[in-house]
Amino acid sequence: MRIYVNGEERNLHVYDKIAGVDYAKNVICAQDRLDTDDFGAFTMTEEEFEYWRKLLVTLQDSEDIRFAIKDLVDEEELSDYVYEETKYVTQTQQIIEVENLSLKDLQKALTEKNTAWLKENGFVKTLEK
């Protein structure tokens, strides 16, 4: 996604490696109404750009974890787990942060073969793999 900050072109990205798409624009536009310049290009202040850059770095980390564990985890169990962990969170920043922490916990449990944690968090099919 191209953004202009003080007339300088910059980019924000977050890639879903499984689907092969960049969805930064969807995330940002779902949360904020972006300003545009006279040519229709998206514009941000330096502070807004830095806020989104940091969030998208965290979101990219989550996407990288998802890609790394995709063959180890049952997809439905993963979806259910992330939903349960984030269902009461309403702000984009918090959702991104909670999801990232949850995925890190899952990745750690998989790495350490922590069957108790996996059972407790609903990864029964994953354990059967």
pLDDT of residue 42: 87
pLDDT at 40: 74
pLDDT at 100 (0 to 100): 97
Q: Where are the domains of the chain?
A: 1-70, 72-129
Rounded Cα–Cα distance for residues 61 and 5 (Å): 24
Residue 128 β-bridge partners: none
Task: Please list the pLDDT of the chain residue by residue as tens digits (129 residues).
Answer: 889 898 899 999 999 999 999 998 888 887 767 777 777 788 889 999 999 999 999 999 999 999 999 999 999 999 999 999 999 998 888 999 999 999 999 999 999 999 999 999 999 999 987
9: Cβ contacts below 8 Å, ≥ 6 apart: 2, 3
Pick left, alpha or beta for residue 2 (phi over 0 → left; psi -120 to 50 → alpha; otherwise beta).
Answer: beta
- Taking the C-alpha atoms of residue 92 and residue 120, their distance in angstroms, rounded to an integer, is 27
Sheet holding 35-36, edge to edge: 8-11, 2-5, 42-44, 35-36
Residue 36: what pLDDT? Answer: 75
For residue 66, the model assigns a pLDDT of 96
